[in-house]
Copies of this chain bind each other. A is one copy, B any other.
Amino acid sequence: LNATIKDVAKHANVSTATVSLVINNHARITPETKRKVLKSIKILNYYPSRSARDLVSKKTGNIGFILTDDHFLRTEPFYTRIFLGTEFEARDGEYYILLTTIDSNFSSTDPLPRFVLERSVDGIIIAGKVPQNLIDRISELKIPIVFVDYETNSNCCPLVLIDNIQGGTMATNHLIELGHKNIGFIGGDSQHPSLYDRFNGYKQALEKAAIPFNNNFVENNSKYPDRQNGYESAEKLLENNEEITSVFACNDAMAIGVMHYLKDNAYKIPEDISIIGFDDVEADLMLDPPLTTIRVPKIEMGAEALRAMINCLKTNSNSNNKILVPVELIVRNSTINNKDKKS
């Protein structure tokens, strides 16, 4: 029913080879014939068949996107936005994205995603933390991988990561510039490299400002960095340190937990305690007051990952380059100048 390359060739009075050369922007084709062919393509509403192309080129034109189901289902859209970023970027390119989730407890006896078994993808983007056995098994198959927001020691693939140190520094500097000296830090799971880097950023900023680091002001644990964690961490921190005037929470979920704690305990935000988060999720705007935070460009990270993947595929090189995505300070109303405190 649809036009094929033969139809175009016939219509343009050339060979199929010529048509192929034209649609692939190849070599030295007379502008004249090129024009002719392009015209026929337009008239016949011709689109090359993917399967025919793939069959001969031994490529699939698909990129796999793998993440754990709990990451996909996270209440605050984070990884789904990264996914959308890859889709945006793939749109103009010649790729389709095949998304699949795996169980968080994916074990070595679980079957690999169907698209890797069937070799239906040219490369795979892995978003967020996944079990190591998944990585190992895909690597064995020699399928190119790009990681987004996750770093493992064992790999030599492109990495797209948040510049967490920069973000941690930024957040802390914001508080410092507002005149705060006693800045609480709520880190959540300190095993998580991203969160730990934010801690490093915090320490670096203090050092640069010649503010002595006080370990009593930091609350790290090894629990999932969610609202409850933020609530409990705030409790520990503030019950024992009356002098704290502001808090940097390592992600917005925990920052929201902190705000809940503050409200439950009749602190005024930001007059009594300034609070800054990290991530910039939608919920921030629904809060009272709206949360000052560090914005992570999720869509952009996805786009970056796809670009890295395409580059990897085109050059056929496993460049072990690390792409650090810059973050941005978003000042809203949960932080205020320390001089205005308890005014």
Which A residues are closer than 8 A to B by beta carbons? 2, 47-55, 60, 62, 69, 72-73, 75-77, 80-81, 84, 87, 91, 96-101, 114-115, 117-120, 227, 282-283, 286
**For residue A55, which residues in chain B have a CB less than 8 angstroms away from its CB?**
49, 51-52, 55
CB-CB under 8 A from A115, the residues of chain B are 96
Contact A118:B80 (CB < 8 A) given known A87-B99, A87-B100:
no
| A84 pairs with B91, CB closer than 8 A | no
Q: Are A286 and B227 in contact (CB under 8 A)?
A: yes
Decide if B91 touches A80 in the complex (CB within 8 Å). Answer: no
The one of B75, B227, B286 that contacts A77, using a Cβ cutoff of 8 Å: B75
Q: List 28 A-B contacts (CB under 8 A).
A: A47-B118, A48-B118, A49-B55, A49-B119, A50-B51, A50-B60, A50-B120, A51-B51, A51-B53, A51-B55, A51-B60, A52-B55, A55-B55, A69-B84, A72-B80, A72-B84, A73-B84, A75-B282, A75-B283, A77-B77, A77-B80, A80-B80, A87-B101, A96-B115, A97-B98, A98-B98, A99-B99, A227-B286
Taken together as a complex, chains A and B put the C-alpha atoms of A48 and B100 apart, in Å, by 20
User: Which residues from chain B contact A48 at a C-beta distance below 8 Å?
Assistant: 118
Determine if A50 and B99 form an interchain contact, defined as CB atoms under 8 angstroms apart. Answer: no
Closest Cβ of chain B to A80, distance in Å, is 5
Closest beta carbon of chain B to A251's beta carbon, Å? 15
Q: Which 6 A-B pairs have CB atoms at the shortest separation, nearest pair first?
A: A51-B54, A75-B282, A51-B55, A51-B51, A47-B118, A96-B98
Chain B residues lying within 8 Å of A114, measured Cβ to Cβ, are: 91
Q: Return chain B residues, CB-CB under 8 Å to A227.
A: 286
A227 to B285, CA, bound (A): 12
CA distance A49 to B99 in the complex (A): 19
Known: A51-B50, A75-B283. Contact between A99 and B101, CB under 8 A? no
Task: Report how far A2 CA is from B282 CA in the complex, Å.
Answer: 46
CB-nearest residue of chain B to A83: B99
The chain B residue sitting closest to A226, CB to CB, is B286
* Shortest Cβ distance from residue A231 to the other chain B in the assembled complex, whole angstroms: 11
Q: How far does the alpha carbon of A52 sit from the alpha carbon of B48 in the complex, in Å?
A: 15
List of B residues within 8 angstroms of A118 by Cβ: 47-48, 50
